[in-house]
Amino acid sequence: MARSDRALDAVLDRPGLVEIVVDLAAVGFLDSTGVATLLRGAAEAVGRGATLRVTDPQPIVARVLRITSVDCLLGLTAGPGGDGSATGSGWRRLR
């Protein structure tokens, strides 16, 4: 299991979890594995009644999230739910 998966699982296991904010300011590269980890975390958070959103991505990372159309699911832009959160209707369609 990757270190990012272990860290995500540790956060998701916290009692009373309401929101996970992932600061991407120091991330200079994001590949499909990173995108998948963020999506898994967001989906699991929603399943537990919480949200996951990302903040401060560097331009290249924001571009990857935009090109893969997950920016709205991770709270970077307003998505189908209109509020930019991972609880919008986009997640219901992905389940």
Q: What is the pLDDT of residue 36?
A: 94
Q: What is the pLDDT of residue 75?
A: 93
Taking the chain (95 residues) in runs of 10, the rounded mean pLDDT of each run is 80 92 95 94 93 95 96 79 45 41
Q: What is the pLDDT of residue 28?
A: 96
Q: What is the pLDDT of residue 7?
A: 86
Domain boundaries, the chain: 3-79
Classify domain 3-79 at the CATH class level. Answer: alpha beta
Q: What is the pLDDT of residue 2?
A: 74
Q: What is the pLDDT of residue 88?
A: 44
What is the residue type of 85?
S
d(CA 9, CA 77): 25
Query: Rounded to the nearest 5 degrees, what angle is found at the Cα of 7, between the Cα atoms of 65 and 10?
Result: 125
Q: What predicted TM-score, i.e. pTM, was given to this entire model?
A: 0.77
